[in-house]
Chains A and B, each alone.
Chain A
């Protein structure tokens, strides 16, 4: 079964090439008086951080002044991450030095949260440090919808992860955790959010005024909690998503993904509690929602998956009447 649930996905889904004209984008940003901060959270990323800082700074601060502030916020790397990042001109901070009075917790979410205090921008764009094919589109593709459309306050990245070229159709989705854990959970509890193609992507941009209002899990749950909390506060219309084409990054082991899923589940069930979804459990959805892309157009596939159940055999009269069972 395939149908379009509503047109949010058409209105709020972009492709980075929609924003190729950086001169125009910078003009619009200046006209609106916006300041943009870019934050890369790091922990032992010496192999990729140099390239990210070099390219993003050179293209988006020097050539086109889209980004006003560029910070690397580190969790205490033991390799040369900080040296390489500052060699290429990033402002480098240790998360433990920011707001020392609240203490230090080690995790990516801590760095993202402390960035809100450390950075000055009206818009903060977060980019993971492990992208080996970094390109300016990873930033301008995310901040552009915020510059152009005031009603949008949070923009997620999604990527091309081709799995099947032969039929012209390919599933468009996230990694294993997204497809096996998050999308089924969203389909059950937050069907509207299942339109977000890659809910776990580590690249997103948001307005300060929404970031400062939500809690930040320190570990794996930070991306999930942002979606659930902002959805609760502002609804789906606050979100947008941008196709950034291909992202090349490290592949994780199944064990690491298990740990990540465990962290995400904690965050998820906390939200179910606080939003009253566990106490007043509604009928569970039976529609599973996923995506497919053809010729650059994304469409949601909705499939009914009803897990019918049979009672214990001892409740069946015919079984009980068997001569050998009594």
Chain B
């Protein structure tokens, strides 16, 4: 067995030895990051409208004495905890946007062992955990050699197409050893690959000069139904794994009036970029043909597109993460990401996404996080950062 491998294992074992006592210490220090989760979660932060939440994150960075706190030209908040050597850096990212509109009452309820409210898991908790890292490291007596770069990235979800994360990585000038995306949901989540994704919106409009006497004439709802049926005829391969999801349908506003326009939102994910390309062409053809045959105006807009990417299951970063989870009694759930991880890996960084605790009603108004599992979730994050810092996760 090579000497280096033995050292790596010994180092990791050293780190893991303290896992239970560290988890308890984190539990004792919970108030600060639970408070941040509530305060951040109660600030509405829809995609493209994250400014107030991001400003609060920067205030926290300042209050925690970090270096270079600020908001970049893309709207991301970032700051640094300088390492003792500072030759390299570790990037921690948590997205600042959430799926709820500002009209939703952003109120978090705090119980003895849980918290409930819109966006508490996705991703107020992830943000709060990221912000709390410098304090927790200090409490645990951990000094990193690397700089720790903390980023609350905006414009991550939906139509935003990871704009904030891409922008930050494009302008980042420091060498980075590895990256971790932090999500509140779900403990055990282990993403080390980004799934090829295409998100689109098809709009259908019945034109003003539409011939209502023609054979088969109807309003937008009937047309959209016909269009959806045609799209469902597209063959979807089982291998490579591919999926087509209809995520939203908007049409009509009354009981007795045929609407003249409507829209359909969908997402294609596939392990093979070529399949996504083929399906995009097929969708375009269906839309064109449908438009010609029905006399309606059909337009397909691609709002987000991501390539497949990833690091191998055997990459030391993934292996180390699995070992840490095993020690913590967490069962890894391998789950390809369609989120910020894609931006990191496509940017050439070895990176993973971790979840922090068990969650119920994800993305519902009554989204609920359990507090008890959270402390080992936080401990896995701290331990992984330390492992990266000690060079255990190098390929």
Contact = CB atoms under 8 A, between A and B. Distances in A.
Interface of A: 46-48, 50-51, 54-55, 57-59, 62-63, 80, 83-84, 87-89, 132-133, 135, 248
Given A58-B34, A133-B42, A135-B39, A50 B63 contact: no
B38 interface: yes
Contacts of B34: 54, 58
Interface stretch (B81-89, B109-117, B382-390): B109-117
Contacts, number: 44
A210 B345 CA distance: 64
B152 interface: no
B31 A51 contact: no
A51 B108 contact: yes
A74 to B, nearest CB: 16
B107 interface: yes
A62 B112 contact: no
A54 B63 contact: no
A62 B31 contact: yes
A228 B320 CA distance: 68
Contacts of A132: 107, 109
Interface residues of B, number: 14
Interface of B: 31-32, 34-35, 38-39, 42, 63, 107-112
Contacts of B63: 63
A83 B268 CA distance: 48
Contacts of B35: 54-55, 58-59
Contacts of B111: 46, 50, 84
Contact of A88 (B31, B32, B108): B31
Given A63-B32, A63-B63, A83 B112 contact: yes
A54 B63 CA distance: 19
Given A54-B31, A57-B31, A62-B31, A133 B107 contact: yes
Contacts of B32: 58, 62-63
Nearest to A134: B38
Contacts of A51: 38, 108-110
A87 B108 CA distance: 17
A169 to B, nearest CB: 24
B109 A87 contact: no
B47 to A, nearest CB: 23
List of 6 A-B pairs having minimum Cβ-Cβ separation, nearest first: A51-B110, A50-B110, A58-B31, A58-B35, A87-B112, A84-B112
B372 to A, nearest CB: 12
Contact of A54 (B42, B107, B110): B110
B31 A80 contact: no
Nearest to B107: A132
Contact of A248 (B31, B38, B39, B107): B107
